[in-house]
Amino acid sequence: MVGLSRVQHGVRGALPRRLMTAGRLGFAVGLVGLVVTGSIAWTVRSVNSSNERRLLQVQTAQAGAVISASILGLQGPLATALQIETATAGDIGEFTRFMSGYIGPGKLFSSASMWQINGSNARVVTTLGQPAALAPTSTAAQVFVTKAAHSSTFVVTGIPANSPQAVGYALANSANPTFAIYAERAIPANRRVAVESDAAFSDLKFATYIGDTTSTSELATTDVSPDKLPLTGRTARIAVPFGDTKLTLVTAAVGHLGGSLGANLPWIVLFLGGLLTAMSAFVAVQLARRRKEAERNSDTISSLYGDLDRLYAEQRNIAITLQRALLPRRIPSIANLEIASRYVAGTDGVDVGGDWYSLIQVDEQRFAFVVGDVSGRGVNAATIMAQLRYTVRAYLLEGHDPGAVLQMVSGQLDIAEDGHFATILVGVGDLSSREIAVANAGHLNPLVVSGDRSRFVETAVGPPIGIGPAAYAETTFVMAPGSTLLAFTDGLVERRGEDIDSGFERVANAATDLGTTLEAVLTRLLATVAEDTAADDIAILAFRWVDVQLPDPVSTSASGLRV
């Protein structure tokens, strides 16, 4: 509108008794309109380009999390086989029975071998699967396996190093390097792998390299023809820990990650702005001609300028509407559920901890929730928490039940080696029946509140993650309409010098005083139970059923609980 004011000032002030010609007025209005339209289009394009970079970085980070989870899936069988070797003093039969399930076409490894280490020497005891690309009798194989005896994690090598056709893995217990496991995983000759089934890669082209560099000689896998590498255009890069080295993941967007609207928005702005500019210029010309006919009629001239003002106001409103279309989309919610969560850091002065919670919608019928707590604090605890969180989330999205999810992750953490263990409560709920199935790995039982009654669900508590591989039983129960479930970490109930049962009773009593919203409930709960500042972190996840029209069926819990 600044440009319009200048035009009006020029007409009314600088030329008080002279008329600006229709052509000059139309040119001025058109020039102002084009400048405004071009500025808006450039802003929209810049914002869209920034959004594309951000979306690419987010999807690349998600893809990196998927790769990290798959690396854990590789490390798990190797670690278990090593434990079997150590426990059985290198029993070949036990090794063969366990590893046979992971070796063969379409399986995790193409070959595996068991080694015995004596100081700086290593000898192969037995082999399984196809002939290894790195021959067991070669000096290179012995050197590589011996290297694992001095590493705190598994060691990785490309075979051959300058153009790997396979990846070799070796794992030994560096604290007691008596036995070692060596396994190979074949890479397709053309390096191409299909990942269409994984949503994290659905909008990306990618290439992975072993190590820090992205040279062709270090290429591991890609979903494009290798002759089209390196990837061009807007790309993102992330390093994923891979044993004693790392994988470098490079991605590029297949199309426009923000959708067709974001891609076409600058052109829409130019088209609409140009159309409005042409209309404004046409009107301005007409106004100038009419003003010439009625220059002595000030009321008519004011009315004509009012029309021009309204046209510019409409152009400004369209620009504002287009800018609002660039705002982030609304955070999705789950039907029939009111959800709230809180995280309160403890008072020990460390702002990085291992407490976490998640709630995801698995499909249209089911949702899943997780509350977990990694022992200790600091970067290591937070790192393990992130690994467990992504792994549990991935297994839940694949459709596994809570007990199966905990069993699959139970061997991925070892307190003897990692120095941490984790307690996890995993639940899956049915949105139609309100049936909840939970499995518990050493965590606190959840609290269910219905009206003025509250009780803790008696679950089958299994060992924490990190104690060793285990199976976990599930407990199922049905929640009443309008009832609330609260899952939390021990920081909510534990106080120094106080019996933990007193903490449970305090939480149960405070939770029955429900407010109008779950946010109000959690605010009141924290204010009531945290009068004495807690030293430990507190994580709370709560959801309430709002589908009050559904019937109230009887629970089918294995423990006979009716909630």
Q: What is the per-residue pLDDT across 394-452, written as a single tens digit (0 to 9) for each?
A: 999 999 999 999 999 998 888 888 889 999 999 999 999 999 999 999 999 999 998 88
pLDDT at 472: 95
CB 18 within 8 A of CB 323: no
| 456-507 confidence digits (pLDDT tens) | 999 999 999 999 888 999 999 999 999 999 999 988 888 877 888 888 988 8
Amino acid, res. 152: S
Indicate if the pLDDT at residue 138 is higher than 60: yes
DSSP state string for 133-160: SS-TTSHHHHHHHHHHTT-SS-EEEEES
Write the burial class of residue 386 (CB in 10 Å: 0-12 exposed, 13-18 middle, 19+ buried): middle
Residue 309 has pLDDT above 70, yes or no: yes
Residue 16: CB atoms within 10 A of its CB come to: 7
pLDDT at residue number 165: 86
Instruction: Give residue-wise pLDDT tens across range 44-78.
Output: 778 888 888 888 888 888 888 888 888 888 889 99
End-to-end CA distance of the chain: 63
Cα separation of 137 and 144, whole Å? Answer: 12
pLDDT score recorded for residue 13: 47
Q: What is the mean pLDDT of residues 115-121?
A: 87
Give the per-residue pLDDT at 48: 80
Q: Considering only residues 550 and 158, tell me which one the structure prediction assigns the higher pLDDT.
A: 158
Would strands 245-253 and 204-210 be described as parallel, antiparallel, or unpaired? antiparallel
pLDDT confidence of residue 250: 92
Instruction: Count Cβ atoms within 10 A of the Cβ of residue 14 and give its class: 0-12 exposed, 13-18 middle, 19 or more buried.
Output: exposed
User: Tens digits of per-residue pLDDT, 493-549?
Assistant: 888 778 888 889 888 888 876 667 888 888 888 887 765 556 678 899 999 998 644
The DSSP annotation for 273-325 comes to: HHHHHHHHHHHHHHHHHHHHHTTT-HHHHHHHHHHHHHHHHHHHHHHHHHHHT
Candidate ranges 232-241, 282-291, 342-351, 361-370; pick with highest mean pLDDT? 361-370
Confidence of residue 297 (pLDDT cuts 50, 70, 90): low
Strand pairing category for 435-441 and 461-462 = parallel
Which residue's entry shows tokens 């022992």?
Answer: 375
**Cis-peptide, bond into residue 402, ω within 30° of zero:** no
**Region 8-30 average pLDDT:** 60
- In this predicted structure, what is the pLDDT of residue 326? 30
Helices 500-511 and 518-529: crossing angle, nearest 10°? 140
Mean pLDDT of 131-152: 89
Residue 9 has pLDDT above 60, yes or no: no
Q: How many angstroms separate the CA atoms of 33 and 27, rounded?
A: 10
DSSP assignment of 438-492, as one string?
Answer: EEEESPPPPEEEETTEEEE----EEPPBTS------EEEEEPPTT-EEEEE-GGG
> Which residue, among 362, 329, 350, 374, has the nearest Cα to 490 in the 3D structure?
374
CA 30 – CA 7 distance, rounded (Å) = 11
pLDDT at 533: 53
Mean pLDDT along residues 71-98: 90
Instruction: Count the residues in the chain.
Output: 563
3-state SS assignment for residue 182: strand
* Position 276 pLDDT exceeds 90: no
- Separation of CA 246 from chain center: 20
CA separation (Å) from 466 to 54, 242, 269, 409, 419?
Answer: 36, 21, 57, 9, 9
Could you identify the residue written with the tokens 């590029």?
252
More confident position, 327 or 232: 232
Distance between CA atoms of 471 and 160, rounded to whole angstroms? 40
- HSE-CB at 206 with a 13 A cutoff on CA atoms is 28
Average pLDDT over residues 99-120: 90
User: Is 22's pLDDT higher than 80?
Assistant: no
- Of 513, 554, 24, 44, the C-alpha closest to 325 is 44
Tokens 């995280």 locate to: 343
Give the C-alpha separation, 353 to 152, whole Å: 23
Per-residue pLDDT band at 214 (split at 50, 70, 90): confident
pLDDT at 189 over 90: no
Q: Is the pLDDT of residue 555 over 60?
A: no
Task: Return the number of other C-beta atoms located less than 10 Å from residue 253's C-beta.
Answer: 21
Residue 100 has a pLDDT of 92
Q: Which of 127-131, 267-271, 501-505 bottoms out in mean pLDDT, i.e. has the lowest?
A: 267-271
Portion of the chain with pLDDT greater than 90, in percent: 29
For 357, the enclosing helix (H) or strand (E) is: strand 353-361
CB 447 within 8 A of CB 413: no
Other beta carbons less than 10 A from residue 247's beta carbon = 22
| pLDDT score recorded for residue 20 | 56
The dihedral through the CA atoms of 360, 361, 363, 366 has a sign that is positive
Q: Residue 312: what pLDDT?
A: 55
pLDDT at 304: 58
Please state, in angstroms and rounded to a whole number, the distance separating the CA atoms of residues 75 and 102: 12
pLDDT, residue 171, reads 93
Query: Whole-angstrom Cα distance, residue 218 to residue 163?
Result: 7
Judged against a pLDDT cut of 80, whether residue 258 lies above it is answered with: no
Q: Which runs of E-coded beta strand occur in 49-175?
A: 111-118, 121-129, 155-159, 166-172
Question: In this predicted structure, what is the pLDDT of residue 531?
Answer: 59
Kindly provide the b/e burial profile for residues 89-124, where b requires at least 16 CB atoms within 10 angstroms of the residue's own CB: ebeeebbeebbeebbeeeebbbbbbbbebeeeebeb
Mean pLDDT of all residues belonging to the chain: 81
5-19, 70-84, 272-286: range with lowest mean pLDDT? 5-19
For residues 132 and 22, which has the higher predicted lDDT (pLDDT)?
132
Tokens encoding 313: 């106001």
pLDDT at 19: 47
- pLDDT of residue 103 exceeding 70, the answer is yes
Q: What is the mean pLDDT of residues 11-29?
A: 61
Give residue 203's pLDDT: 80
